[in-house]
Amino acid sequence: MANFLLAAAVVVLTTVALGMIRVLRGPGAADRIMAAQLLGTGGIAVLLLLARAIPMPGVVDVALVLGLLAAFVSVAFVKAVGGPAPGDAERAGGE
Amino acid sequence: MTLTFAFDAILALALVAVAAWTTAARDMFAAVAGSVAFGLLMALVWVRLAAPDVALTEAAIGSGVTGGLLIAVGARLRRNGASPGAEPPGAILRCTAAVVCGLVTVGLGAIVLLSPEPAPTLAPLAARHLPQTGLGNPVTAVLMAYRAIDTLLEVVVLLLALVGVWSLAPDRYWGGRPGMQQHEDPNGVLAFFARLLPPIGIIVAIHLFWVGSVAPGGEFQSATVVGAMWLLAMIAGLVDLPPIDRPGVRLGLVVGPVVFIVIGLAGTALAGAFLAYPPGHAKLLILVIEIPVTLSIAATLGLLVVGPPQRMPPG
Amino acid sequence: MSFIRDGLTIGAVAVGAFFFLAGMVGLLRFPDTLSRLHALSKADNLGLGLIVFGLLFQEDELFPALKLVGVWLLALLAGAIVAQLIARAAIRDRPSA
């Protein structure tokens, strides 16, 4: 079981590492934010798998903090590149 | 080839690739995204090196708050018309930077590879005296008992950094509110998120603070989460920052270091050395220090990210 | 009994990892921002959700299991919000509707 979970962690890590290519290429800021978001979620998945495969206290807490702070950074990104009020495009008079 | 080796190899390759690309990136926001990604990967590395406390701090401060700080700075630079990268650094500067980075890398590699087996360590000594501190987490014991003076100095340095950032404000803005007024739809997606996440974040922060005495966690990570939640509420326009000359703000920033120093001086009188704890009271005193320090650090980090005052002081 | 538990864990985690793979392929291969966002949110929700679901069977105590579910719910919430924000920014920046 531990070996299987470790193998799954390797798969998810490789997936996420390859997804970083979108950070490199992504023609827009939105693409880069998405790749960083994938890394955040993938990192959480890897941490949860590692927590069970190689028992160590506190790893799930690291995943929790990762989730919170990744959300914060993504929001900061969108706010910074999105211009004024990216959160309410519906009220901008129709796009 | 075992699975753990495969995992570590992929992690190391991804780390180097992201670092190289971030250094070579042309667009500033791309570089910031790369450095946030680097921080996340580093958190995984710390977990693999059996240092979950450091992983917590890396994910929270190294990746999260520093990323927020870089984004805020980048946005301000762009708004003021400065274009980062307009004047590329000269060849001499780049060569010097390359040489210095290379030397540091070689030096660190030599230390790691050439250190005697087993590497010299104080860990058994720290573990042997752990019961006297009343704590179960040796990292917290090092931070708050054995080397409390270092933690005190770190807290003071953070405060001095904030004063330095504030000193960048033009004279007419001194005492005003930091950052610009945020205009967000109070019924929009962002405001909804900023109402929902901070309570969750505060619960997680309290959990981290409390569990830090026996498991990975502690006041720095807890304070960082609180600071990030405050920044989120500010980004969404739900709360506005107070003017920096308000006494409440200054009190909140200073109460942590002051309590730390007062207890340290009391230790001189009661236990024989600065920041020594009287036997049997160590855990209680550490708790009394940690609560105001968490508040101060959260406030300091939040204000650091927002920057110097940019609006006229009220009245 | 433990054989069933382990089997469920392996099954769920394997499918979850597959969704992560699918999300990555979509992120790299889909032609424009919005369709990539679609692929990303599949990885976020289903990939992580199935992995958490599989890991739940390995937990013996309640509180750690609740923490796992809590992590997934947090990632779900954050993923949904960020997808919304990114999509609106992408729409506004698109040259033609």
What is the predicted pLDDT for the residue at C85?
84
Q: Is B197 on the interface with C (CB under 8 A)?
A: yes
pTM given for the model = 0.88
What is the predicted pLDDT for the residue at A92?
41
Q: Is A2 on the interface with B (CB under 8 A)?
A: no
Chain A positions touching C85 (Cβ under 8 A) are: 74-75, 78, 82, 86-87
DSSP state of B181: P
What is the predicted pLDDT for the residue at B85?
59
Secondary structure of residue A54 in the 3-state scheme: coil
What is the predicted pLDDT for the residue at B310?
81
Q: Is A8 on the interface with C (CB under 8 A)?
A: yes
Residue numbers of chain C with a pLDDT score lower than 70? 93-97
Q: Which residue of C has its CA nearest to B200?
A: C74
Task: Return the ∠ at Cα C22 (arms to C20 and B18), rounded to 5°.
Answer: 60
Q: Which residue of C has its CA nearest to B203?
A: C70
Q: Is there a contact between C19 and C54 (Cβ–Cβ < 8 Å)? A: no
Alpha carbons B146 and B129: distance in angstroms, whole number: 10
Alpha carbons B98 and A63: distance in angstroms, whole number: 35
Chain B positions touching C77 (Cβ under 8 A) are: 193, 196-197
Interface mutation target, options C73, C81, C88, C91, chain B, most CBs of B under 10 Å: C81
Whether C85 sits inside 8 A of B192 (CB atoms) is no
Tell me how far the alpha carbon of residue A73 is from its chain's centroid.
Answer: 10
To the nearest 10 degrees (0 to 180), the angle between helices C2-29 and C33-42 is 170
Q: Is there a contact between B294 and B223 (Cβ–Cβ < 8 Å)? A: yes
Q: Is there a contact between B28 and B5 (Cβ–Cβ < 8 Å)? A: no
Strand partners, B309: B178
Expressed in percent and rounded to 5, the helix, strand and coil fractions of chain C are 85, 0, 15
Expressed in percent and rounded to 5, the helix, strand and coil fractions of chain A are 80, 0, 20
Which of C44, B142, B23, C90 shows the shortest CA–CA distance to A27? C90
Residues in CB range of B131: below 8 A, 6 or more apart:
none
Report phi then psi at B178, rounded to 5: -75, 155
Question: Within a 10 A sphere around the Cβ of B99, how many other Cβ atoms?
Answer: 10
Secondary structure of residue C96 in the 3-state scheme: coil
Is residue A87 very low, low, confident or very high in pLDDT (cuts 50, 70, 90)?
very low
> Which tokens belong to B276?
């020594």
Cα–Cα distances (Å) from B131 to B176, B237, B280, B281, C68, in that order, read 48, 47, 10, 12, 31
Q: Is B174 on the interface with C (CB under 8 A)?
A: no
Question: Within a 10 A sphere around the Cβ of B275, how many other Cβ atoms?
Answer: 23
Whether C36 sits inside 8 A of A44 (CB atoms) is no
Whether C92 sits inside 8 A of A8 (CB atoms) is no
Residues in CB range of B224: below 8 A, 6 or more apart:
A69, B57, B60, B61, B64, B65, B297, B298, B301
Residues in CB range of B236: below 8 A, 6 or more apart:
A75, A87, B182, B184, B190, B191, B193, B194
Q: Residues in chain C, how many?
A: 97
Q: Is A17 on the interface with B (CB under 8 A)?
A: yes
Interface of A with C in 57-86 (CB under 8 A): 60, 63-64, 67-68, 70-71, 74-75, 78, 81-83, 86
What is the predicted pLDDT for the residue at A77?
86
Alpha carbons B27 and B30: distance in angstroms, whole number: 5
Report the neighbours of C using a cutoff of 3 or more CB pairs below 8 angstroms.
A, B
What is the predicted pLDDT for the residue at B297?
94
Which of B138, B162, B297 shows the shortest CA–CA distance to B221? B297
Chain B positions touching C74 (Cβ under 8 A) are: 200
Q: Tens place of pLDDT for every residue, chain B, 315 residues? A: 688 898 999 999 999 998 988 888 777 888 888 889 899 999 999 999 989 999 999 999 988 899 999 988 888 887 777 665 566 777 888 899 989 999 999 999 998 888 887 777 888 888 888 888 788 888 888 888 888 889 999 999 999 999 999 888 888 888 778 877 777 777 788 888 889 999 999 999 999 999 888 888 888 999 999 999 999 998 888 888 888 888 888 898 999 999 999 988 888 888 778 888 887 788 888 888 899 999 999 999 999 998 888 887 776
Stretch A77-90: mean pLDDT: 62
The domain segmentation of chain B, as residue ranges, is 137-315
Which residue's structure tokens are 């998810």?
A12
What is the predicted pLDDT for the residue at B108?
92
The string of DSSP codes covering B217-285 is --HHHHHHHHHHHHHHHHHTTSS-PPPTT-HHHHHHHHHHHHHHHHHHHHHHHHHSSTT---TT-HHHH
Chain C positions touching A21 (Cβ under 8 A) are: 28
> Which tokens belong to B154?
């770190």
